[in-house]
Amino acid sequence: MDRAVPGWRNPSAISFVRAVRDFQSGVQTPRQFLEHCLETIAAREPAVKAFVTLNIEAARAAADEATVRYRTRRALSMIDGCPVGIKDIIDTRDMPTQMGSPIFAGWRPRYDAACVHALREGGAIIIGKTVTTEFACGEPGVTTNPHDPRRTPGGSSSGSAAAVGAGMLPVALGTQTGGSTLRPASYCGAFGFKATHGVLPMAGVHPISVTHDHLGVIGGTLEDTWRIASHISVAVGSPGNVLLNGASTELPSAVKPRRLIRLYTKGWDETDAATRDALDALAGQLAHAGVEIVSRKTSRGIAELEAMLDDGFVERSVDLKAYEMKWPYEQYLARHGNVVVKRVHDRIAKAKTMAPADYESRLAERAAMREKWHAAARGADGYFTLAASGPAPVGLEYTGAWTGKMAHYVRPLIG
């Protein structure tokens, strides 16, 4: 993991999409695929520590049911038989949801979150709950990086990224309020995906900041990642929002972009040389293939956009999050303040200094940034930038670079 390699793929990753072909032909069954996952968990979990809870008996029962369905050609969906891990801030009716916090130790919801309900209805196998930092915004958990136990797996979706990166699962659910899906996925050698804000449902997911929170999907392959996300979008949607790109569960065909916007942002200043070289090489490959690359070096509009991103925008977004955390975190502090992580105390203290007019001002500033973002994107097919400022850092005391300086942090606030 110390060397950034263009085109590198995680050799531990497993593919559910490929397994489905075997299910359909009878070469392999969902139960056999699950057992492979369980064998990997047994071998690697003592070091990786990706899971809070495992429900192996229920997973095997669900896999047996999926096996019968494939044998009789009655698969429920394109995700039938897929083992999935669930971040432990997402409600599950058959396992505790403990938020990484002592105040929720042993707490059991009565119902599944909307996304978990969608997965079960499609025949997915919910194998367990994965480690999260406290309330997805606090201190790191016990999880280590599956490629080097000295290194952080990233956060806050630490366990989900590590489980997929270790080949324990083909896919797992995470969440993202800042960079909590993309960063750990990057550190652990997996694909991280978060849709436009609001497209995937957050019902039954513990909130941090309702205008920032996203459901995320982490997969060992791009196909698996898309298939899970699109199934959730189709099955339960998100009230008031459109479906995910037409909601086909098949990964859309590749289309060569005509023009892409490259963002540097403040994070570029803390990026190591190997990572810079890797992104430069990618940009060169795209240009050689005939894709026009636009950046702050060639476009005044992009330079102005980056200047706005760098001019205290992250700090203003933190203000928004602090204000939106007042419920339920003020109540947590009132009743359990002695055991709640310091970051929550700091955010609520900040919220108490803000008047409603301050919050409205921050919303207006974000709306202006979104307009600038969309204006800059007109005539281009997309943006690209780094998902993290380099390989996973050594040490488990924190979850990596402060990704507020990276474009992937601010993109959820804009799109």
| Residue 150 burial (10 A CB sphere; 0-12, 13-18, 19+) | exposed
Beta-ladder partners of 382? 260
Residue 180 is among the residues annotated as catalytic for this protein? yes
In terms of DSSP H, where are the helices of 240-341?
A: 273-288, 300-310, 313-324, 326-336
Of the listed 101, 157, 158, 180, which one is catalytic?
Answer: 180
Helices 30-48 and 158-165 meet at what angle, rounded to 10? 120
Per-residue three-class SS string for 46-84: HHHCCEEEECHHHHHHHHHHHHHHHHCCCCCCCCCCCEE
Q: Look up residue 166 and give its DSSP letter.
A: T
DSSP 218: E
Pick the catalytic residue from 77, 156, 317, 389.
156
Angle between helices 407-414 and 313-324 (to 10 degrees): 50
Annotation says 87 is catalytic: yes
**Annotated catalytic residue 256:** no
Looking at 12, 49, 77, 87, which residue is catalytic?
Answer: 87
SS3 of residue 40 by DSSP = helix
Contact (Cβ atoms closer than 8 angstroms) between residue 126 and residue 92: yes
Residues with a catalytic annotation lie at 87, 156, 180
